[in-house]
Amino acid sequence: MKGIKRIVVILGAMAIVIIILSRCMNAADQLPEDARGKAYTGAATCIKCHKDLSQSYAHSPHGLTSKPVVDAALLKVFSPDSNSFLFSAHQKVVIEKRDSGIFQVAYQDGKAVRAQKFDMQFGSGEKAYTYTYWQGKKMYELPLSYFAAIQNWAISPGFPKESFYYDRAITSRCLECHASYVDIKLTQRSTFSKDEEMEKGSVIYGIDCERCHGPGKQHVVFHMENPQEKTAKFITLYKTLTRKQKMDACGVCHSGNALVAQKSVFGFEPGDNLDDYYTQDFVGFGGGDPDVHGNQTSMLTGSNCYRKSKNMTCQSCHNTHENIKGNLNLYSQRCINCHQSTNHSKTTLAKGSLSTNCIDCHMPKESSKLITFQQAGKDHLSPYRLRSHHIAIYPVINK
Ligand code: HEC
Ligand code: HEC
Ligand code: HEC
Ligand code: HEC
Ligand code: HEC
Ligand code: HEC
Ligand code: HEC
């Protein structure tokens, strides 16, 4: 009897210990794994407590800027008369639906000579979609991209216009700005060149919560275990960052493509110093000639609004959690926050009510010097136009 009692007591004690231990581990263990490591947990978890924000995030250009190609969605961009591109009388690329997916098929004198499948899509489609295909652990860009401005296919930016080309490698650098993660392996090939392999299954598509906010697992575990706590813990608060830190948090992807990364920026977290990741881009600093594509940071920091105010950042006009695309009236209110009164000349005032659209006069759309695209049968390149972030007085623009 004594023996049995002792066993019961021991078992009971063990059960209690197990329950206590499992309660300690519970919150963290319930969370899904994330390819970035133990400190991360993925957007699906964030959404559980931040439902209102996740609604807008799901449809935001950041969230949609890369994804695996879904055939049904791609077919919507299709129309029977615009699914091919003629390079010459001899060469064309045709977009074809086959049993195993949708392909860009190259024809030489009527004979199919190369076919690659649409695997991944870059861009939210706001301006363009560029597509890539995987070959083992490497990724390549397809010859045709889709441009919203013409609602049609054209040659991918920078590709030759005389004949089709399928061999432009897409490196992890594109994903560093257009996705949240990819696992890469580098092997030194020679003193100056490294060979990069990317793990397809590890790609975290789109720019997700933790890409902008930093790893959030500890934050989640804390708030799961302390539901009564309404003050955010273990997550960087943007409002506590300095102006440079705020600019860097956007500049990691919005400072142009010319910067040389010293180490992968996938690990960049808000609060980090961007100079630790990129070597200085002396060209981009005011004196150079930054491009409207991809380099909003240099354009803005070269403007008097930025230079002569103490606290202007991207957030003075953009809240990445709201979608006010195209609402120039609302954007103009953000100018008026700092410019309650303006000294416009009679000629300018005669142009009508200025207060609803400061934007088209002071931040006009300009053509990118880096990106143009070639349409079929045209002898000139088509412009790729973006809003200039060099806020200034431009020669009067006739609207
Ligand atoms: C268990 C619930 C819970 C989960 C899951 C959760 N949060 Fe939070 N979060 C909170 C609470 C509570 C606050 C404080 C109240 C508020 O600001 O909404 C907060 C606040 C925040 C803030 C605001 C900080 C500020 O500036 O005030 C950010 C950013 C944030 N969370 C990011 C995340 C991210 C990223 C994830 C996913 C990795 C996440 N949260 C998942 C509960 C949660
Ligand atoms: C492109 C970068 C970016 C992405 C992606 C992003 N955030 Fe934010 N988030 C910000 C910035 C910047 C702020 C600060 C806004 C401000 O103070 O003007 C912010 C603020 C917040 C806040 C606090 C302020 C508020 O509006 O309530 C929470 C909570 C938050 N984010 C959660 C999330 C969650 C959850 C996701 C994913 C569903 C997410 N964020 C995705 C950049 C981002
Ligand atoms: C991880 C890279 C990355 C970070 C960090 C990032 N962006 Fe972006 N942003 C992009 C990419 C890529 C696009 C193009 C999206 C598309 O495909 O349309 C974009 C688009 C935008 C747009 C235009 C689309 C829209 O929402 O109207 C704005 C504005 C913008 N970003 C502002 C910001 C601000 C402000 C921050 C800092 C809080 C920021 N971004 C941080 C990569 C990033
Ligand atoms: C340094 C960050 C960065 C890198 C690297 C980068 N992009 Fe972008 N990309 C952006 C930003 C920011 C935008 C949106 C705003 C703009 O054009 O200025 C954008 C826009 C785009 C768009 C149009 C999205 C839309 O619908 O508006 C496509 C497509 C695109 N990039 C593809 C690529 C590809 C493919 C690569 C690699 C060859 C690449 N990008 C490299 C930052 C980057
Ligand atoms: C954070 C405050 C702030 C915001 C927001 C802001 N500005 Fe400014 N802006 C300034 C300051 C400060 C100056 C310099 C005034 C001076 O020289 O006395 C300035 C200068 C200007 C100038 C004169 C430029 C020149 O080169 O002489 C124009 C035009 C202008 N702003 C338009 C705008 C427009 C349009 C917007 C909205 C898209 C805007 N600003 C948003 C603070 C701001
Ligand atoms: C003074 C206001 C202001 C500031 C500050 C500002 N932007 Fe913008 N931004 C705008 C306006 C206005 C648009 C055009 C919106 C539209 O057409 O819907 C825009 C558009 C964009 C776009 C889309 C470009 C296009 O042509 O579609 C990107 C990307 C962007 N901003 C990023 C940034 C980043 C990154 C910063 C900080 C370096 C920043 N912006 C600072 C006002 C501002
Ligand atoms: C029709 C084009 C147009 C519109 C709309 C417009 N501006 Fe201007 N702005 C100009 C021109 C041109 C000048 C140079 C002075 C002049 O000729 O009136 C100027 C000058 C300025 C200046 C420098 C002079 C000063 O007042 O210190 C600021 C700041 C400014 N504008 C801000 C704004 C803001 C804010 C809005 C929106 C509420 C706006 N502008 C709307 C064309 C415009």
Over residues 27-37, the mean pLDDT reads 88
The whole-number pLDDT of residue 240 equals: 96
Neighbours of 91 (CB within 10 A): 16
Neighbours of 98 (CB within 10 A): 10
Name the token pair of 313: 């950042």
User: Please, which residues have CB within 8 angstroms of residue 205's CB and are 6 or more apart in sequence?
Assistant: 66, 67, 68, 179, 180
Nearest to 249 by CA among 223, 222, 271, 218: 271
- Among 65-69, 189-193, 246-250, 384-388, the range scoring the smallest mean pLDDT is 189-193
The whole-number pLDDT of residue 189 equals: 81
Q: What percent of the chain has pLDDT over 90?
A: 67
15 pLDDT tier (thresholds 50, 70, 90) = low
Pseudo-torsion of CA 300, 305, 311, 314, nearest 10°?
Answer: -30
Question: Which ligand has the minimum distance to the alpha carbon of residue 249?
Answer: 3
Residue 102, helix vs strand vs coil:
strand
CB-based contact 140:132 (threshold 8 Å): yes
Q: How far apart are CA 123 and CA 183, in angstroms?
A: 21
Q: Which atom of ligand 4 is nearest to the CA of 126?
A: 26
Name the token pair of 102: 């949708």
pTM to 2 decimals? 0.94
Pseudo-torsion of CA 343, 345, 346, 347, nearest 10°?
Answer: -140
Question: Which ligand has the minimum distance to the alpha carbon of residue 140?
Answer: 4
The whole-number pLDDT of residue 291 equals: 83
Over residues 329-337, the mean pLDDT reads 96
356 C-alpha vs ligand 7 centroid, how far in Å?
A: 12
41 C-alpha vs ligand 1 centroid, how far in Å?
A: 13
Residues 251-307: pLDDT tens digits?
999 998 777 778 899 999 999 999 999 876 554 444 467 888 889 999 999 999 999
